Structure 1
Amino acid sequence: MSMVFFTSSSTPLYSSAWTPQTVGQYAGTCIFLIILSMLFRALVAIRCNFSHLWIRYSKYKETPILYREMDELALKNGARRPWNANEALARAILDTTLAGVGYLLMVAVMTMNLGYFLSVLGGAFVGSLIRGGWTGGTLQ
């Protein structure tokens, strides 16, 4: 198998049932990949700030998720909070979703279709442009 990029508007994506037959279907597939790549960047931004988002979420719950009121201050000072099953489950679901979306994008690029490849790159660019400020540090 030759490992070169090619241009074709009828490359199957994920299964033989998803084979674009028209240029419009191919464009729809590329738009799907752009949105999926943007979703991946948004999930990465959420994952980078998971602890801070979890603390914000817990403030609005009737039953506090955090063990004590000083957890937010302790987290800012670098201390670790005690293990929490709800938080661990949410983090595991987020990580699994990140892995799944990442592998779907990888399989799309591995088709070696230039349009699919550029769609994934375009989605990563737009996603980074929109949510890129969230990935480098903490939420304000």
Structure 2
Amino acid sequence: MASSMPMPMVFTTSHHTPLYGNGWTPATGGGYAGTCIFLVFLAIALRLVFAVKAVCEQRWAIAARRRRFVLVQGRTTEAGRIDQDPDAKTGALITVNGVEENVKVVQARDAFAPFRLSIDVPRAIMTTIIAAIAYLLMLAIMTMNVGYFLSVLLGVFLGELAVGRYARNDENFH
């Protein structure tokens, strides 16, 4: 029968608490400090990924609003209006595609955006990374080691201090 350490039900200050498995059990004070520093950086990384995701979401929303246009039949193009204006000396209007398109930009409604591979795959990857890091931090806290717990809190504090202004509050933010 394999020997296993029972999970403590109270906080402990042991410097020999395993993290993520028996293979990661600090044997020295320096090893314990290194483990705590790792947890600080892991918590900072979680805040960074939250911020990156929020910035990406904002950019994707802006791009989606800019993409919305409808063709307008019978509408005079800006180039046509310039040609007909006797006071206009010269005028040229070229779009990204190299031609003036007869379109009208409209505001996006508050409906859900359609599936876009270029947006939904990175969003899913970032959400998966967030979940993985959050679960690893949760497992560290569940060891009930005070040093690990405080390290995670310090990392959350430093990460929030550094990039908290970029992350938006939503139901996944903790």
- TM-score bracket for the superposition, by shorter chain length: 0.7 to 0.9
CA shift, 1:54, in A, is 4.1
Q: Check if 1:29 corresponds to 2:29.
A: no
SS at match of 2:120: helix
Gaps of 5+ in 1: 59-65
SS at match of 1:134: coil
Partner Cα distance (2:14, 2:39) in 1: 16
Partner Cα distance (2:47, 2:107) in 1: 28
User: Following superposition of structure 1 onto structure 2, how do residues 1-140 of structure 1 map, counting pairs within 5 Å?
Assistant: 2-54=8-60, 69-70=67-68, 74=107, 78=110, 80-136=112-168
Q: How big is each residue's C-alpha offset from its partner over 1:59-91, in whole Å with a ceiling of 9 and x where there is no partner? A: xxxxxxx796448x856x756543201211111
Gaps of 5+ in 2: 1-6, 70-105, 170-174
Larger Rg: 2
46-55 vs 1-10, which deviates more?
Answer: 46-55
Partner Cα distance (1:46, 1:78) in 2: 23
Partner of 2:74: none
Bigger helix share: 1
CA shift, 1:107, in A, is 0.1
Partner Cα distance (1:13, 1:40) in 2: 18
RMSD across aligned positions (CA): 2.6
CA shift, 1:14, in A, is 0.3
Letter in 2 for 1:30: C
Count of residues paired in the alignment: 127
Give the % identical residues.
Answer: 44
The alignment's TM-score, normalised by the length of structure 2, stands at: 0.64
Pair 1:31–1:53, CA change in 2 (3 A): farther
